[in-house]
Amino acid sequence: MRHRKAGVKLNRTSSHRDAMFRNMVTSMIKHGRIRTTDVKAKELRRWVDKMVTLAKRGDLHARRQALSVIREKNVVHQLFAEAQDRFGHRPGGYTRIIKLGNRAGDAAPMALIEFVDPAPVATGVAEA
């Protein structure tokens, strides 16, 4: 039974999964949107929403918790600087997932995950 086991395995080791989602969270905050598979986008939503909630709190402990996931200081600074203005009025659900169809090579369902409020500097789509 799989009771109380949140998250997906994605056929990867736990260290690979953690590293992959840390990189995806960093890219998501840096670029504002990511094009990835549907399952990864749904799991990434959990990680990104947690980081935005920490940024809305804005205290030193929250910043250090975010730095334990996002290893780039400038990305954490960017998130904490704009989170209260962009998401202060929103109680949750900071991202949206848009289905894009199937990938050409292996027919994996693809999705675009982006922040709900438009980013001031988000240009292009980051591949993950």
Whole-structure pTM value = 0.87
CA-to-CA distance for 64 and 58, rounded, in angstroms? 10
CA-to-CA distance for 54 and 60, rounded, in angstroms? 10
DSSP state of 73: H
> Among residues 123, 117, 121, which one has the least CA distance to residue 48?
117
Q: Summarize pLDDT for 9-64 with one digit per residue, the tens.
A: 999 999 999 999 999 999 999 999 999 999 999 999 999 999 999 999 999 999 99
CA-to-CA distance for 94 and 36, rounded, in angstroms? 17
Looking at residue 117, its pLDDT comes to 80
Q: Summarize pLDDT for 77-127 with one digit per residue, the tens.
A: 999 999 999 999 999 999 999 999 999 999 999 999 999 986 555 556 667
